[in-house]
Amino acid sequence: MTQVESLAKYAARASFADLSSRSREQLPVHILDSIGCCIAALGSGPIEACRAQVTDFGGDGPCTLIGGGKASPIFAGFWHTALVRYVDFMDNFLAPTETCHTADNFGVALTMAEYIGGSGRDLMLGVALSFSLQGVAHFLPIPKELPMDRFFRTPAEAWALSLFGVTLAPLFEELFFRGFLYPVLVRWCGVTIGILATAAAFSLIHAPQLGRAWGPVLVIFIVGLALTITRAATKSVGASLLMHMAYNGTLSVLLFIGTDGFRHLERLNQ
């Protein structure tokens, strides 16, 4: 079994019972800390700008928003991620090599846990699983400059690509890869090979924009595995589409915050 297959098996079979006693003690602390950051961010200028976006485009969906109101899962994840990362006071956790923090994925995990009617245990497992996979990505060789960076030269380009990335791009990709290609491959090769082949095709089509560097391509392959496993488990392209939009939306929010509202795009290469 390859390392990638091991990661996919780990993600698909993860359960709350797999968490160590130490993790069960610390995860509630990180989650409460993240919620505190969300509350502290309410009312600040950039956060109010994000809320206006949620109000204009998020609709009256099924997901509750911290601070009041409801929105679609995509914009609820966007909102909660913006809240938790704006204050960025997660000082109760310092990784030895400055890896990711559990709060990086808290907004999406919280939103999806409510959307599927999950419990607090499901939320803890989602945060732990996303943290572990993001931690793997931290140690992969990621070039500082990628071909896709040329699309982030101006704030207008960054806004346009971000909006495209959470709307049309995941829609078209999910319709092709999980809606068309995956069922065909399953009929030819079976479920396991179908999942792996779909994820491989998904990563390869993104390879040119990532400079064909194996590190980021591997990350996209893992993302493709998660999306395809979701498609296989739920038998719904809609589920993988929501997950894809939430993933892209989280990246866009982190980019928005890290570049001070797309005003300092030169930070992408730092």
- Report pLDDT digits (tens) over 130-144: 666 666 655 555 555
Mean pLDDT to the nearest integer, 42-63: 85
**Are 46 and 261 spatial neighbours (Cβ–Cβ below 8 Å)?**
yes
Name the range with the highest mean pLDDT among 1-15, 76-90, 171-185: 171-185
Digit-coded pLDDT (tens) for 71-98: 888 888 888 888 888 876 544 444 444 4
How far is CA 228 from its chain centroid?
Answer: 15
Domain layout of the chain by residue ranges: 1-139, 144-270
**Are 224 and 199 spatial neighbours (Cβ–Cβ below 8 Å)?**
yes
Predicted confidence band of residue 8 (pLDDT cuts 50, 70, 90): low
Q: What are phi and psi of 70, to 5 degrees?
A: -140, 160
Give the per-residue pLDDT at 146.
Answer: 58
Name the range with the highest mean pLDDT among 2-16, 130-144, 178-192, 198-212: 178-192
Give the per-residue pLDDT at 198.
Answer: 92
Q: Is the pTM of this model over 0.75?
A: no
The CA-atom distances, in angstroms, between 182 and each of 12, 173, 187, 235 are 17, 12, 9, 11
Please name which of 135, 131, 78 lies closest in space to residue 103, comparing C-alpha atoms.
131
Q: At residue 270, does pLDDT exceed 60?
A: no
